[in-house]
């Protein structure tokens, strides 16, 4: 009975791969990017200006932060470096004195 399983499983796998390959070939459409661009431009040309959605106004921009400029870096904003403070809940590991 196991020989039936050993014969049928690979055969079914091969049949399914051939079937999927034929399905992919049927679904494949050979179009180039130039075709898509020309179709988009034609559609845009036929769309009346009244149907075109208005452009959204730009949202609020980021707040201007004061920057520190040095003579070495004209026009480049630099940020002050904030050092990380250690967490007071965790203490250093005490190692044994091996003297």
* pLDDT score recorded for residue 44: 86
Is pLDDT at 97 greater than 90 in this prediction? no
Task: Please tell me which residue, 99 or 35, carries the higher pLDDT value.
Answer: 35
**Angle (CA) 72 77 80, round 5°:** 95
How many other C-beta atoms lie within 10 A of the C-beta of residue 84?
5
How many residues appear in the chain?
99
Phi, psi of 64, deg, nearest 5: -75, 125
* pLDDT score recorded for residue 19: 93
pLDDT in tens, 63-85: 555 555 555 656 666 666 677 78
Beta bridge pairs of residue 78: 68
């Amino acid at each position: 009975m196991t020989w039936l399983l050993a014969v049928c499983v690979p055969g079914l796998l091969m049949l399914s791969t051939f079937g999927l390959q034929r399905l992919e070939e049927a679904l494949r459409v050979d179009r180039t990017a130039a075709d898509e661009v020309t179709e988009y431009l034609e559609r845009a040309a036929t769309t009346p200006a009244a149907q075109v959605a208005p452009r959204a106004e730009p949202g609020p921009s980021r707040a201007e932060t004061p920057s520190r400029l040095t003579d070495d870096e004209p026009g480049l904003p630099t940020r002050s470096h904030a050092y990380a403070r250690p967490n007071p809940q965790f203490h250093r590991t005490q190692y044994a004195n091996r003297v």
